[in-house]
């Protein structure tokens, strides 16, 4: 019995030593199964990054980024990108601000270079994208206007673009031809065309009034032709007034379009898709929207007759205009911002990979890239795609900035709520100008110093 106990005592240290060696082997390989040929795959701690998407998780930019993210995760199994989106833009903005106020800022989220984003920059919450793109050697790969659109007034940039587009008036070629109409080149001609369409029993203009920004574009057209972006940059700080000639021209234009019935009936409740479908269904003569809609005009859901009858014309001119005919709304869409707190080495590697893969993958979906990248005729895209691609090449270097990216949040919200009322005739142009001047007087000092 004593001999047995003695042998056992000698054996135990050997067993413990073997166990320790085995344990050390597992630690070096994360999971010993792979090293021993086991069928069990190694366990990897996932890093999940959320992208809160404003443009819809099924939009071409979102789909393209997700495809590239899945490809990246094949060589970086610890990486996982999860997309979350919400319906309309107002709902998105409200939820984003709620998340950030609750210290739940997503790793990635969509935002314009507006006053709210500027506050986040001041708080040190966003990654400096201009610095990052230069560090990665990708800054020069973008179209200059695409990056200029993402910049704040001081030239700093905390978002980068996934889209690129010019904004034009799409029109029904056959409808115009049947009524003896030509695409208008001036605002006076535009109003005459709208009047003729209305008299013929056709809705002149299909517009998304629910999301507010499409109507806001109409307010900005004439001020841009008259002053470039000077009016909006000055009026947002109270250095100019909506009662100034440029402001009143824009206000009266929206008031006339609405009260004359040139927008469709019930336009304030019409969303993005419904407005587009109104035009594609041949029930409206004109529809203002960006080149990102090009492929939606040639897909299988559009009738053959309509596909062959979609043309476009530029933003009309006016006497004394300070901007050229090929200067109009050009934008690179709502940008992507990155949370400084969660921007680690893995995310940085992903951004680098994304920038390398995105131009080709996105453009081959029939989209127009913010990068210096285009498709030739041999790649078999629809004729309308190449016409827009050619127009993009001819576009000027001066572009109109969207007003909702310049005004302070409180004034911007008021403007969005009251602009439809102006178009419905609930405000006179003078009353509307006074309302907006008062809002800027009260709100702008909190954001612009």
Task: Answer whether residue 105 is part of any domain.
Answer: yes
Clarify whether residues 319 and 431 are in a common domain.
Answer: yes
101 is a domain residue: yes
- Give me the tens of pLDDT residue by residue for the chain, a chain 449 residues long: 444 334 444 444 444 333 433 333 433 333 333 344 445 656 668 899 999 999 889 999 999 999 999 999 999 999 999 999 986 788 899 999 999 999 999 999 999 999 899 999 999 999 999 999 999 999 999 999 999 999 998 999 999 999 999 999 999 999 999 999 999 999 999 999 999 999 999 999 999 999 999 999 999 999 999 999 999 999 999 999 999 999 999 999 999 999 999 999 999 999 999 999 999 999 999 999 999 999 999 988 999 889 999 999 999 999 999 999 999 999 999 999 999 999 999 999 999 999 999 999 999 998 999 999 988 887 889 999 999 999 999 999 899 999 998 999 999 999 999 999 999 999 999 999 999 999 999 999 988 87
Residues 118 and 155 in one domain: yes
- Whether residue 142 is found in the same domain as residue 115: yes
Whether residue 194 is found in the same domain as residue 289: yes
Within this chain, do residues 275 and 226 fall inside the same structural domain, yes or no?
yes
Residues 419 and 295 in one domain: yes
pLDDT reported for residue 11? 44
Number of domains in the chain: 2
238 falls within a domain:
yes
Q: Where residue 296 sits, what CATH number does that domain have?
A: 3.40.190.10
Quick check: is 8 in a domain? no
Is residue 343 domain-shared with residue 243, that is, in the same domain? no
Q: Which range of residues forms the domain containing residue 442? A: 165-330+400-446
Q: Is residue 26 part of a domain?
A: no
**Which pLDDT value is given to residue 4?**
39
Pair (159, 249) in one structural domain: no
Do 62 and 157 belong together in one domain? yes
**In a domain? residue 249:** yes
Please check whether residues 236 and 274 belong to one and the same domain.
yes
Domain match, 110 and 187 both: no
Q: Which two tokens stand for residue 291?
A: 């080149």
Read off the pTM. 0.79
Three-class secondary structure assignment of the chain? CHHHHHHHHHHHHHHHHHHHHHHHHHHHCCCHHHHCCCCCCCCCCCEEEEEEECCCCCCHHHHHHHHHHHHHHHHCCCEEEEEEECCCHHHHHHHHHHHHHCCCCCCEEEECCCHHHHHHHHCCCECCHHHHHHHCCCHHHECHHHHHHHECCCCCECCECCCCEEEEEEEEHHHHHHCCCCCCCEHHHHHHHHHHHHHCCCEEEECCCCCCHHHHHHHHHHHHHHHCCHHHHHHCCCCCCCCCHHHHHHHHHHHHHHHCCCECCCHHHCCHHHHHHHHHCCCEEEEEEEHHHHHHHCCCCCCHHHHCCEEEECCCECCCCCCCCCCECEECCCEEEEEHHHCCHHHHHHHHHHHHHHHHHHHCCCCCCCECCCCCHHHCCCHHHHHHHHHHHHCCCCECCCHHHCCCHHHHHHHHHHHHHHHCCCCCHHHHHHHHHHHHHHHHHHCCC
Separation between Cα atoms, residue 280 and residue 309, nearest integer Å: 10
Task: Say whether both 146 and 206 belong to one domain.
Answer: no
Beta bridge partners of 263: 205
- Give a yes or no: residue 74 inside a domain: yes
Distance CA(38)–CA(56), nearest Å, equals 42
In a domain, 178, yes or no: yes
């Amino acid at each position: 019995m004593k001999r047995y106990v003695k042998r056992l005592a000698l054996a135990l240290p050997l067993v413990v030593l073997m166990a320790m060696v085995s344990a050390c082997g597992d630690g070096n390989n994360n999971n010993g199964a792979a090293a021993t040929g086991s069928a069990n795959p190694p366990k990897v701690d996932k890093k999940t990054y959320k992208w809160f998407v404003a443009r819809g998780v099924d939009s071409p930019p979102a789909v393209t980024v997700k495809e590239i993210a899945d490809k990246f995760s094949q060589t970086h199994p610890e990486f996982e990108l999860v997309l979350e989106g919400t319906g309309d833009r107002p709902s998105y903005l409200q939820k984003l601000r709620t998340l950030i106020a609750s210290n739940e800022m997503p790793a990635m989220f969509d935002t314009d270079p507006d006053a709210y984003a500027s506050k986040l920059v001041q708080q040190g919450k966003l990654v400096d994208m201009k610095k990052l793109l230069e560090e990665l050697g990708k800054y020069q790969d973008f179209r200059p206007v695409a990056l200029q659109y993402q910049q704040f007034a001081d030239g700093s940039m905390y978002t980068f673009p996934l889209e690129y587009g010019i904004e034009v008036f799409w029109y029904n070629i056959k409808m115009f031809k049947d009524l003896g109409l030509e695409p208008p080149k001036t605002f006076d001609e535009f109003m005459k065309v709208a009047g003729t369409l209305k008299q013929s029993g056709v809705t002149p203009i299909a517009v998304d009034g629910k999301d507010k920004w499409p109507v806001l574009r109409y307010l900005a057209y004439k001020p841009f032709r008259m002053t470039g972006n000077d009016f909006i940059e000055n009026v947002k700080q109270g250095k100019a007034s909506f009662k100034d000639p440029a402001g009143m021209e824009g206000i009266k234009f929206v008031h006339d379009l609405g009260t004359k019935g040139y927008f469709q009936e019930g336009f304030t409740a019409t969303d993005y898709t419904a407005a587009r479908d109104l035009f594609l269904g041949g029930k409206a003569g004109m529809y203002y929207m960006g080149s990102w809609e090009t492929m939606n005009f040639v897909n299988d859901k559009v009738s053959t007759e309509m596909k062959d009858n979609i043309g476009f014309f530029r933003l009309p001119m006016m006497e004394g205009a300070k901007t050229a005919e090929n200067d109009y709304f050009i934008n690179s869409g709502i940008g992507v911002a990155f949370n400084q707190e969660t921007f680690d080495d893995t995310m940085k590697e992903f951004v680098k990979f994304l920038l390398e893969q995105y131009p080709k993958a996105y453009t081959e979906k029939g989209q127009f890239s913010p990068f210096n990248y285009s498709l030739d005729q041999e790649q078999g895209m629809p004729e309308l795609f190449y016409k827009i691609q050619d127009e993009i090449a001819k576009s000027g270097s001066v572009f109109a900035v969207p007003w909702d990216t310049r005004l302070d949040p409180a004034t911007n919200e008021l403007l969005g709520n009251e602009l439809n009322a102006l178009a419905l005739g609930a405000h006179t142009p003078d009353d509307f100008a006074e309302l907006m001047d008062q809002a800027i007087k009260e709100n702008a000092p909190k954001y612009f110093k």
